[in-house]
Amino acid sequence: MSNEIPECVRRNLNRYFRDLDGQAPHAIYDMVLKCVELPMLEVVMKQAGGNQTVAAEMLGISRGTLRRMLVDHEMI
């Protein structure tokens, strides 16, 4: 696996902390997951030709979990 994604996350989290300007960080885990999840779903669904079963297999999650994520992101 390429080191590009972890490095991108690292760089942006460092920027996030630098830009806080003394404010306390909050809910970082959820923030990062939400930022990564949507583009990941968009790319995987495109690669799967819109087929949720194939996309779920690619992601290593159940189709039901994928469907919930797609609904949460208003993709279906």
Q: Yes or no: say if 29 and 61 are a contact pair by the CB < 8 Å rule.
A: no
Query: What are the pLDDT tens digits along the chain (76 aa)?
Result: 578 989 999 999 999 999 998 899 989 999 999 889 999 999 999 999 999 999 999 999 999 999 999 999 999 9
Give dist(CA 74, CA 58) in Å, integer: 20
pLDDT at position 1 is 57
pLDDT of the residue at 70 = 97
- Specify the CATH number of the domain 4-72: 1.10.10.60
